Chain A
Amino acid sequence: MSGQGLTGLSSWSRRLVTAGVLVWCLITAFPLYWVVVTAFKTPPGVVGGPTYIPFVDFTPTLQPFIDLYQGIRGEFFRTFLNSTIVGMSAAAIATAVGAMAAYALVRFEFRVRFGAGLIFFLLALGGYLLFNNSFGFTRPQALLLAFPIALAAAILANRLPLPGPILGNEDILFWFVSQRMFPPIVTAFALYLLYSEIGRLGFQLIDSYVGLTLCYVAFSLPIVVWLMRDFFEAIPIEVEEAAMVDNVPSWRIFLGIVVPMSMNGLLATFMITLAFVWNEFLFALFLTNSRWQTLPILVAGQNSQRGDEWWAISAAALVAIIPMMIMAGLLSRMMRSGLLLGAIK
């Protein structure tokens, strides 16, 4: 760590800089303070104009939270549970699957022919149109049929000496990460249609645990692969080489050596993914309607339901915020070990 940048400054400008940061901190802290205080207000404490200090300006009460718990403003308890279950499982699956892929990208060599990728895309598109228009399959059926055919053809084509560039590990990584660039609305809407058509075939995905979790896993994977690759790259390869000399199989090297060595990274990645899923709004809006509704949807609904009942709105917002506040505390400890350093290179 280095302390340059301000060493040449006089003590006066140092004070100025400190004041500036302090101002930014106040700006950051005030809305948080505001929501915490408002959650303990009684209706007169809100309607009579802004009040700031408990016991001086207004008498605090726990009523908003009791209302929440009793489900007066929607099924908070169950929604909280939904968010927890979906968040935990999506983050766990994404971290596990993504870490495996990231490890493969760091330690093994992959070669994908550009032509094979093209074949996959064209066959998937063409097969879908063909099955849908000429053979009279429904749209999801056509997609589900075209997908494995295109995939099999592409894997076979990858063995042929096709012309065109050969893509390596870096390109595969780029493909993963570029999935993040997509505007989610493109996917969310199409996924909604696809899910509802699959639902008509008898397998319900809309407003279901599987549908929501699957979608979140897919959307967290790019971040997980990106973050985990840097952790794995930082692990000294000598340990693994020593194990290989002893003929330890690759999967045991991964589970027995690599995973324990990068536990910190896995934990941090898990938490970042959890935060992402916990706060996600758009997909939950499209893909759930009652049973598996998540907290952001319920919180957003508070606004229109009863107007300016701020004490209740604040309590609701606080329920969605507090778990992430705890996580921020945990994460900030890990940040010091240079967690995100590699991620931005």
Chain B
Amino acid sequence: MMRNDPIKHVFIWPAVLVVLAISIFPLIYSFTTSFLSYRLIPPIPPRVVWLGNYVSLLQEPRFWNAIFTTTMIAFIAVGLQYVIGFGVALALNARIPGERLFRVALLLPMLLAPVAVALVARMIFNPTMGPLNQLLSMFGLANLPFLTNGHWALACIIAVEIWQWTPFIILMMLAGLQTLPEDVYEAAELENASAWQQFWGITFPMMLPISAAVVFIRLIESYKIMDTVFVMTGGGPGVDTETLTLFAYQEGFKKFNLGYTSALSFLFLIAITIIGVTYLALLRPHLEKRR
């Protein structure tokens, strides 16, 4: 039942006002700035260039490199997080021994500051003093240049992302698994369906809506990645691991190229919207079939 009482405005307006003020203000501000040529250092008065910033950005290889890097990190990391996370959630749901202890341990990484995690990762990936290369040399393998080679550095960042955010998927999938009705499985048991068949025939399709939501959240969040990269590689070597947010930070905060940075953040926003809409459009037929 919905009530109608003037007091409802007292309840909702504080939140609406704060969010409006902090999100719409900057939005309008940077939207208008993105059409200007505007620098703080050296100070030149703003000049209207219309789409000039956007055009020069789209011709800038560094921008495309940042998009490519961010997409690689987001898709590979989230894909692996989903596979590992779903697997672990299934196992925990089956009440393996020691399940309670696992839960606390598994929750931890996602509550830790990404900055601190990245620092720890730097130590572990250190080529001479880190434990990982020592482990490799124990097996007679050569020391790897983890953070100084572009491809390896990207792989390391992805590994850290997986380490930190798989717990989120485990948590959500576990919550979802516990809502599945038991009688379907009992029926499948009577039909002598194997565990493999039960998974693909029942569990996976029934978990599809939750999976879609969880992957969507992680994908959007991964595109914003900044702190991990900032600490681990600083975008280097060169610009090999520079993500979109880091690129915008460099342009905006180091060079104070305001118009350019605003245009960049709007392209970023458009890119995220396109990815989000495409993702939902691709999934919609699968999700609606089940209703």
Contact = CB atoms under 8 A, between A and B. Distances in A.
Interface of A: 1-9, 13-14, 17-18, 20-21, 24-25, 27-29, 31-32, 34-35, 38, 46-47, 49-50, 52, 97-98, 100-101, 103-105, 107-110, 121, 124-125, 128-129, 139, 143, 147, 151, 172, 176, 179-187, 189-191, 193-194, 214-215, 217-219, 221-222, 225, 237, 241, 244, 249-251, 254, 275, 278-279, 281-282, 285-286, 295-296, 299-300, 302-303, 308, 310, 313-314, 316-318, 320-321, 324-325, 327-329, 331-332, 335, 338, 340-341, 344
B155 to A, nearest CB: 15
B113 A321 contact: yes
B192 to A, nearest CB: 9
Contacts of A225: 15
Interface string B108-149: 110111111111111110101111001000000000000000
A29 B25 contact: no
Given A46-B129, A183-B269, A340-B175, A332 B223 contact: no
B121 A2 contact: no
Contact of A50 (B23, B116, B129): B129
Interface stretch (B51-59, B71-79, B224-232): B224-232
Interface in B1-42: 1-5, 7-8, 10-12, 14-16, 18-33
Given A183-B245, A335-B171, A296 B227 contact: yes
B67 interface: no
Among B20, B119, B122, B180, find the residue whose CB has the most chain A CB atoms closer than 10 A: B119
A34 B224 CA distance: 28
15 contacts: A4-B198, A5-B93, A6-B90, A97-B15, A101-B16, A128-B32, A129-B32, A181-B276, A186-B265, A187-B27, A300-B231, A310-B123, A316-B119, A317-B116, A320-B112
A52 B135 CA distance: 12
A83 to B, nearest CB: 10
Nearest to A249: B7
A125 B28 contact: yes
Nearest to A168: B2
Contacts of B154: none
- Secondary structure dominating the interface of B: helix
Given A17-B96, A34-B123, A8 B189 contact: yes
Contact of A221 (B15, B26, B103, B177): B15
Contacts of B172: 340, 344
B18 A218 contact: yes
Nearest to A338: B175
Given A129-B32, A331-B111, A190 B27 contact: yes
Contact of B121 (A31, A128, A180, A218): A31
Nearest to B109: A28
Q: Which 3 pairs from chain A and chain B are nearest by CB?
A: A190-B26, A6-B94, A218-B22
B175 A299 contact: no
Given A128-B28, A299-B116, A344 B195 contact: no
B14 A97 contact: yes
A104 B8 contact: yes
B179 to A, nearest CB: 7
A113 B218 CA distance: 32
Nearest to A186: B265
Interface string B37-50: 00000000000000
Name which of A28, A176, A186 has the most chain B CB atoms within 10 A of its CB. A186
Nearest to A281: B227
Nearest to B171: A340
Contacts of B203: 5
Interface in B85-114: 87-88, 90-97, 102-109, 111-114
A332 B2 CA distance: 34
B63 interface: no
B23 A296 contact: no
B178 A25 contact: no
Contacts of A299: 113, 115-116, 119
Given A50-B130, A101-B16, A278-B113, A313 B123 contact: yes
Given A21-B102, A34-B120, A109-B4, A341 B175 contact: yes
B158 interface: no
B248 A281 contact: no
A120 B23 CA distance: 14
Contacts of A325: 108, 111-112
A1 B178 contact: yes
Given A218-B19, A281-B227, A335-B171, A183 B131 contact: no
Contacts of A100: 10-12, 14-15
Given A31-B117, A101-B15, A281-B227, A18 B176 contact: no
Contact of B19 (A143, A221, A254, A314): A221
A189 B96 contact: no
**Which of B33, B109, B120, B273 has the largest count of A CB atoms less than 10 A from its CB?**
B120
B134 A49 contact: yes
Contacts of A338: 175, 178
Nearest to A225: B15
A152 to B, nearest CB: 13
Nearest to B195: A8
Given A21-B92, A32-B108, A101-B14, A250 B5 contact: yes
A120 B129 CA distance: 58
Nearest to B24: A124
Contacts of A222: 19
A104 to B, nearest CB: 4
